[in-house]
Amino acid sequence: MLHSAIGFEGAFSAPHRAASLAGRDILKAGGTAMEAMVAAAATIAVTYPHMNGIGGDGFWLIHRPNEGITGISACGQAAGLATPQWYENAGFTEGMPTRGGLAALTVPGTIGGWQKALALVPDEKRLPLENLLAAAIDYAENGIAVTGNQSQCTTDKLAGLKDVPGFAETFLVGGKPPETGARLYQKPLAETLRTLAREGLSSYYSGRLARDHAAFLEENGSPLRLDDFNAYEARFVDPLCVDTTHGRLMNMTPPTQGIASLMILALFDRLGVSEAEGFAHFHGLIEATKQAFIQRNAGLGDPDFMAEPAQNWLASDRLDALVAKIDPQKALPWPYDPAEGDTIWMGAADRYGNVVSFIQSVYWEFGSGLTCPQTGVLFQNRGAGFSLKPGPNQLAPGKRPFHTLNPAMAKLKDGRIIAYGTMGGEGQPQTQAAVFSRYAQFGQDLQAAITAPRWLLGRTWGEETTTLKLEDRFDPELVAQLKAAGHEVEMLPAYSDAAGHAGAVVLHENGLMEAASDPRADGLALTD
């Protein structure tokens, strides 16, 4: 029988053990969940560099006692020079570049998000920044043990990355992908983190680091300039929310796909499914996913450019109209071809009643691949999510691209606060739906809900086809039922990365905390 980690002093979940330990150490030192998350975010940027880094973006949902839930959108905007004409002049007319300097066209936002999160901690109670970054600096300076996940990813993606400036000298060992267990040093990144600890996080956007990065990016063909870094600031936002039978669900605003995650669970709630793990459970969530994704693909983008606020999509009458399109016995054909995506999700709760749901990413595996040798910073390729054609996600200066990232949170009717999420690009809303429905709706243990077999509609991390993919631990009879309903089924190995790296943290009204981590990743769930 699987059981979640439980305790009263603090809880942390991350897809890499080192990040969980870094977060737990800050909680034990009296820090808040926000401070613990910054420590873990810095650490996992070093120890899981194929999935995320300080050259990427991040998003936060933060529950504070008596303060409600606050969102932080640390999404970088397109460079001032980034226009469709600029890219046409560079030879791109049909789609955005995905690797190299031309793909590094949005300001990295995640450090700005760390700033906003720490600003919620009173100055007199805040731990020194050098304490928060100490573990990350140590790993970067003295080397990490390369995980099997990173080793395999480097091997799989090497052809498209090996010639990108800075990549080979930063992430290869002896000119080859590092083997599992190899020691990988990132000494320039250690010095960058020391600079941030010494000069403050704002130096990433206005200090020497900003100047060095702007010069390096321009030299390698990026449209980003120093003015873009100087002008950047993450935003506090009010999260989207929807009420269901089980409580209030919250997620991030556009340009993230948080709206899709909420729509899936709100539609599934309307189906009235009463039993877990059967055809109605999985078919219902899969068909709800299709309806949510159809709406998302038609109108989601930078909220400043959308036709209406995304919260309107969650109105009861509009959800009722969508759920009426779901056939409880038959699958809707699914031709949509989604984009790739790579990410880490982490969650934390502290003794003061704060709960954090956090996600950080460089988009594709190793992002753009472009890595500044002087600073060790790998730049994201989130701008590859823009379109050069007219529409809600068309490239424009200062615009924010569509994001698969979406940290989730819910307040259940019995008072529990649950922070949950996953990596997995297109799979994120689907994995969130699996975890939430199993835990909150059907009462499964938190760890069991995360460990249980999952599915994926479409293509995501490491996958090329757009079928319905099922881990091979599902009951063969259920698989046959789904096929008979018209689902085009493909089987995945047990505990496949394609099913995401999920995690969750729960705070109960009596102060009890639960944490769970995904066996598909290299992580750890810790409580005290």
Residues carrying an active site annotation: 343
CB 425 within 8 A of CB 338: yes
Is 126 among the domain residues?
yes
461, pLDDT greater than 60: no
**pLDDT for residue 426:** 83
Q: How many domains does the chain have?
A: 1
Q: What is the pLDDT of residues 515-528, one digit of tens each?
A: 999 999 999 999 99
Name the band, by pLDDT with cuts 50, 70 and 90, for residue 336.
Answer: low
Q: What is the pLDDT of residues 113-157, one digit of tens each?
A: 999 999 999 999 999 999 999 999 999 999 999 999 999 999 999
Distances (CA, A) of 248 to 33, 102, 148, 265, 318: 21, 41, 38, 11, 18
Q: What is the pLDDT of residues 418-429, one digit of tens each?
A: 999 998 778 899
> Which DSSP state fits 438?
I
**pLDDT for residue 341:** 58
241, pLDDT greater than 60: yes
Distances (CA, A) of 223 to 82, 86, 94, 432, 464: 6, 9, 18, 35, 30
**pLDDT for residue 424:** 77
Q: What is the pLDDT of residues 280-299, one digit of tens each?
A: 999 999 999 999 999 998 88
Q: Which residues pair with 256 in a beta bridge?
A: 403
342, pLDDT greater than 70: no
**pLDDT for residue 337:** 53
Average pLDDT over all residues of the chain = 95
Distance of CA 324 to the CA centre of its chain: 31
The total of other beta-carbon atoms located within 10 Å of residue 387's CB is 17
Is 221 among the domain residues?
yes
Q: Average of pLDDT values for 86-92?
A: 95
The enclosing H or E element of 504 equals strand 502-507
228, pLDDT greater than 70: yes
Name the band, by pLDDT with cuts 50, 70 and 90, for residue 339.
Answer: low
Is 270 among the domain residues?
no
Q: What is the pLDDT of residues 178-214, one digit of tens each?
A: 999 999 999 999 999 999 999 999 999 999 999 999 9
249, pLDDT greater than 70: yes
**pLDDT for residue 400:** 95
DSSP codes joined into one string, 320-340: HHHHTT--SSSPPP-------
273, pLDDT greater than 60: yes
The enclosing H or E element of 58 equals strand 57-64
Joined tokens for residue 358: 């956090």
**pLDDT for residue 423:** 87
Q: What is the pLDDT of residues 39-78, one digit of tens each?
A: 999 999 999 999 999 999 999 999 999 898 999 999 999 9
**64: Cβ contacts below 8 Å, ≥ 6 apart:** 70, 120, 353, 354
Cis preceding linkage at 223, omega within 30: no
94, pLDDT greater than 80: yes
Name the band, by pLDDT with cuts 50, 70 and 90, for residue 159.
Answer: very high
CB 209 within 8 A of CB 191: no
**pLDDT for residue 271:** 97
**pLDDT for residue 507:** 98
**pLDDT for residue 82:** 98
**pLDDT for residue 334:** 82
**pLDDT for residue 464:** 56
Is 34 among the domain residues?
yes
Is 130 among the domain residues?
yes
**Alpha helices, DSSP H, located in 200-278:** 203-206, 208-219, 226-231, 258-271
Is 152 among the domain residues?
no
**336: Cβ contacts below 8 Å, ≥ 6 apart:** 293, 294, 297, 458, 466
Name the band, by pLDDT with cuts 50, 70 and 90, for residue 307.
Answer: confident
102, pLDDT greater than 70: yes
Is 140 among the domain residues?
yes
Q: What is the pLDDT of residues 345-402, one digit of tens each?
A: 999 999 999 999 999 999 999 999 999 999 999 999 999 999 999 988 899 999 999 8
Q: Average of pLDDT values for 398-419?
A: 95
Joined tokens for residue 269: 């709630």
Q: What is the pLDDT of residues 125-134, one digit of tens each?
A: 999 999 999 9
Joined tokens for residue 105: 């066209």
The enclosing H or E element of 381 equals none
The total of other beta-carbon atoms located within 10 Å of residue 489's CB is 16
**pLDDT for residue 123:** 92
Q: HSE, CB side, 13 Å, CA atoms: give it for residue 382.
A: 35
Is 58 among the domain residues?
yes
* Domain extent for 99: 14-145+183-236+345-385
Q: Average of pLDDT values for 224-239?
A: 98
Q: What b/e string do you get for 335-356 counting C-beta neighbours within 10 Å, with b at 16 or more?
A: eeebbbbbbbbbbbbbbebbbb
Total residues belonging to the chain:
528
Tell me how far apart the alpha carbons of residues 348 and 37 are, in angstroms, rounded to a whole number: 7
